[in-house]
A = this chain, B = another copy of it.
Amino acid sequence: MASNKLRVAILGASGYTGAELVRLLSRHPQVAIVALTADRQAGKPAAEVFPQLVLQELPTLTKIDDVDWSGVDFVFCCLPHGLTQEVIAKLPRHLKIVDLSADFRLSDVDAYATWYGHAHHAPDLQKEAVYGLTEIKREAVRTARLVANPGCYPTAAQLPLIPLLEKKLIDAGDIIIDAKSGVTGAGRDAKQGSLYSEVTEGIHAYGVASHRHAPEIEQGLAEAAGKPILVNFTPHLMPMSRGILATIYVKMAPGVTADQLRAALTERYRKEYFVRVLPNGAAPATRHVRGSNFVLMSVHADRVPNRAIIMAVEDNLVKGASGQAVQNMNVMAGFPEETALEQLPLFP
């Protein structure tokens, strides 16, 4: 591999977000994947763990402890929460890192402790971490060493709501986020609740009023609103591998119309490659972003006066995880932001 490429390691590479990073990065002209770790699968050739990537020449999977960090420039960390803090704390300081876990997303370590059930293991690193919602935090990401990649639901919920809160177009105290997610959001671990026959042909809510992505969403919205916010966030599990649809119910500020909300979002994202606001009357479908880093949004007037309905769709494994991680890497490394992410959605 050419010495002028960014040398990338992916930790915890055998899950869905790891495989998705490999898929995306293998098309990146300025990146070389030099290490893949997966402790339980160490020693296996990548082709065995990722049969869908059979054509790529990839390094054999190793244990984290066996990585030679001197040959690595950049790390994507796809490890479970808690463990992540310990691993990242031990990494050499020359590495830039995008962490896909929840470990560095909450700036308040006490909030972390409350929602994740244990004290934060690396509070100093937390202070250094930048929350990587790229379109909102681009400048901070550009100079960051450690980026906390946003959660899948928080990405879909914050992108449409933050501009509206910043402009005080909606009531910060009356936000309902009804979210529908594909199953890969639950990861690749074998769990009965993720079995085909437990998921196909049905839908149910889970984590009602108690999902860990709620405080992450509220953190971002509070910053935009300039005051604390509590939101209703109700996630649902549905039979699709990829995709999130957030249907968001808001009350508009006095005199504001749905058309104004749409115009504000259109203006805010006019120059963004990955975010598109649909014209009046169109509702976004998750299948229209599958496999891509795009976010589609829409705004609809409600028959109920002063209320509007906002929708946003993304692929939870791309813009909701590995795609946004690559987008952040591009920003951190000074590459064109859309590199390796230009792929169009796969429909049907």
Contacts and interface: CB of A to CB of B under 8 A. Distances in A.
Interface in A186-227: 188-192, 194-206, 208-210, 214
B288 A344 contact: no
A346 interface: yes
A282 interface: yes
Contacts of A288: 51-52, 54, 202
A309 B206 CA distance: 12
A255 interface: no
Contacts of A287: 52, 198, 201-202, 204
A67 interface: no
Interface string A14-56: 0010010001001100000000000000000000000111111
Interface string A90-113: 000000000000000000000000
Nearest to A287: B202
Given A231-B304, A241-B196, A309-B234, A283 B347 contact: no
B300 A55 contact: no
Given A205-B283, A247-B234, A309-B208, A346 B290 contact: yes
Nearest to A317: B348
B27 A240 contact: no
Interface stretch (A73-81, A130-138, A177-185, A320-328): A177-185
Contacts of A300: 208-209
Interface in A254-287: 273, 276, 278, 282-287
A280 to B, nearest CB: 11
A236 interface: yes
A300 to B, nearest CB: 5
Given A178-B247, A283-B205, A192 B195 contact: no
The 6 closest A-B pairs by CB, nearest first: A202-B287, A204-B285, A197-B348, A52-B347, A190-B190, A52-B288
Interface of A: 16, 19, 23, 26-27, 51-56, 176, 178, 180, 182-184, 188-192, 194-206, 208-210, 214, 230-232, 234, 236, 238-243, 245, 247, 249, 273, 276, 278, 282-291, 294, 296, 300-305, 307, 309, 311, 313, 342-348
30 contacts: A51-B282, A52-B290, A53-B345, A54-B288, A183-B196, A184-B348, A188-B197, A189-B192, A190-B190, A190-B192, A190-B195, A195-B195, A196-B196, A201-B241, A201-B242, A201-B287, A202-B290, A204-B285, A204-B286, A205-B245, A205-B283, A209-B300, A209-B302, A209-B303, A232-B302, A232-B303, A234-B309, A239-B240, A242-B348, A290-B346
Given A52-B287, A53-B344, A55-B276, 18 more contacts: A27-B343, A52-B347, A53-B345, A176-B176, A176-B249, A180-B180, A189-B192, A194-B197, A195-B196, A198-B287, A201-B243, A201-B287, A202-B287, A204-B245, A204-B287, A208-B300, A230-B304, A236-B247
